[in-house]
Amino acid sequence: MKTLRLILGDQLNIQHSWYNTVSDSTVYCMFEMRQETDYVKHHIQKVVGFFAAMRAFSKQLESQGHNVIYLNLDDASNLQNLEDNLNDIILTHNIEYFQYQSPDEFRLDAQLKAFCTSLSIKSSEIDTEHFYTTRDELSVFFEGKKQFLMERFYRYMRKKHHILMEGENPEGGEWNYDKSNRNKWKGSPGIPSFLHLKNPVETILKTIVASNIETIGRFDETTFSYPINKDQSLEQLAYFNQNLLVHFGDYQDALHTEEVYLFHSRLSFAMNLKLISPKEIIDAVLDHYRSNSDAISISQVEGFIRQVIGWREYMRGMYWAQMPQYKALNTLANHNPIPEFFWTGDTKMNCLNKTINNSLDNAYAHHIQRLMITGNYLLLTQTHPDAVDEWYLGIYIDALEWVQLPNTRGMSQFADGGLIATKPYVSSGSYINKMSNYCNGCAYKVKERLGENACPFNSLYWNFLDDKRPQLAANFRMKMMYSVLNKFSKEELIAMKLRASQIIESPEKF
């Protein structure tokens, strides 16, 4: 039976069971499509990176003897739409059976299910063999519960997979070393230069430009520095273990004007394309830790593992548990447009200037920059979560909707009303000053609430709390901040709200 197997751009798992057998009757297909480049405006480096990794994967399959139909973006036979391309191949190659791996995005999942319903040939779906969890595992775990606390799920994952465990107890005596993961980096210890892999992408870049694909961000290189195949992903992992893991936990929340990556692994792009699995990463990190436990503390390792088997798997579970209605949630009723400077980085606020320009230059920002700088500002200015989703999904190289949407709409913007976060992650300028050096040399004074020189985050913060009293005042984690707000004089609160409204209405002036 002649079989067609579809491989999506984020399904580049060379260890998948599909590839254990080479068969002349099996054809694999991969497409670079306008359907995927155009549904949101992506960072140029994101489009380049996906195409580079997809092309490398296709060549690897061919080198193993598999039959591959690969359509470049500018191929004359490329119909630029998933269903059209599949129908064309099925017809011209007399395909009798269609198979695909489960997409991780609801949009593609629905598209492929509808497509298979329309087919006159047999079809089937198979797991991607990548995640620790199944799609519905989180839903089953929280069945009947009112809250979906990540910490409970994380402990379940630790126990189930026996990761950093001593019997039924957490290794080291603590489940979570988050309190040890909040140090401010002040220039020491030194940070090794990041691993630049220098993958040639000039041809891909020319094709993207010639095809008039609208992108955001900057890219003046002819090489791409992230891993685009399995060997490079393992090289990136080894580099992280040998050079960065020793201080990762201490500084995973730190922010600095002169450092793009700090001690972060730069593995999320490779992992989200499935070039490397979370289990491979966790096993390698644990092996390195066991061999170097005299030099590496458990807090460094636990902080990293929590991001992978806790947060990443939790976000995927929440995505599938809550979609499709989740994508429309806006419980705080925020409706303002996203400021223009989010596309240019042109703002006098140093923290936003550095974070946004870093994102435009590198298609990257770590989780605290995304949560407490850009996300914090967008929530405080009461930006519509649709606009926030579009920006986050487009600008980051590792952004796929299954992980971006619950992180943005849930964790960052509290648009889900607390399904993911137990309180909004908002702050005044004091938190930014505590965790970074962004406030040094800024045009604004972080300790001032009012006046032309006052940090905009300060008036925005108190204005937000006042505006959202109906939704937030009863939240037990917000009671202390509301008690502080209630102590402001009527005149001071009015003055702060007036300044906040000026910032929200004319963000380009700030």
Q: Decide: helix, strand or coil at residue 493.
A: helix
Q: Quick one: which H or E segment has residue 286?
A: helix 278-291
Distances (CA, A) of 55 to 8, 48, 78, 306: 12, 11, 15, 32
Fold match between 137-191+244-320 and 340-509? no
Domains of the chain, residue spans: 3-126, 137-191+244-320, 340-509
Distance, CA of 49 to CA of 43 (rounded, Å) = 10
Start-to-end C-alpha separation, the chain: 64
Distance, CA of 259 to CA of 217 (rounded, Å) = 19
Distance, CA of 235 to CA of 229 (rounded, Å) = 10
Q: What does the chain come to in residues?
A: 510
Interval 110-120: pLDDT, tens: 999 999 999 99
User: 340-509 has which CATH code?
Assistant: 1.10.579.10
Cβ atoms of 101 and 126 within 8 Å: the answer is yes
CATH value of 3-126 in 3.40.50.620, 2.60.120.260, 3.90.226.10, 3.20.170.30 = 3.40.50.620
Please name the residues in contact with 84: beta carbons below 8 A apart, sequence gap of 6 or more: none
Selection from 278, 246, 277 nearest residue 263 by Cα: 246
Cβ atoms of 214 and 225 within 8 Å: the answer is no
Burial of 134 (0-12, 13-18, 19+ CB in 10 A): middle
Is the CA virtual torsion 461, 464, 465, 471 positive or negative?
A: negative
Selection from 319, 333, 340 nearest residue 399 by Cα: 319
Interval 170-192: pLDDT, tens: 999 999 998 888 899 999 999 99
Q: Does the N-terminal peptide bond of residue 200 adopt cis geometry, omega within 30 degrees of 0?
A: no
pTM for this model (two decimals): 0.95
Q: Quick one: which H or E segment has residue 361?
A: helix 350-362
Distances (CA, A) of 23 to 64, 100, 193, 224, 380: 11, 17, 44, 33, 56
Spell out the per-residue pLDDT of the chain, length 510, in tens: 899 999 999 999 999 999 999 999 999 999 999 999 999 999 999 999 999 999 999 999 999 999 999 999 999 999 999 999 999 999 999 999 999 999 999 999 999 999 999 999 999 999 999 999 999 999 999 999 888 999 999 999 999 999 999 999 999 999 999 888 889 999 999 999 999 999 999 999 999 999 999 999 999 888 999 999 999 999 999 999 999 999 999 999 999 998 999 999 999 999 999 999 999 999 999 999 999 999 999 999 999 999 999 999 999 999 999 999 999 999 999 999 999 999 999 999 999 999 999 999 999 999 999 999 999 999 999 999 999 999 999 999 999 999 999 999 999 999 999 999 999 999 999 999 999 999 998 999 999 999 999 999 999 999 999 999 999 999 999 999 999 999 999 999 999 999 999 999 999 989
User: 137-191+244-320 has which CATH code?
Assistant: 1.25.40.80
Selection from 331, 374, 325 nearest residue 507 by Cα: 374
Cβ atoms of 160 and 177 within 8 Å: the answer is no
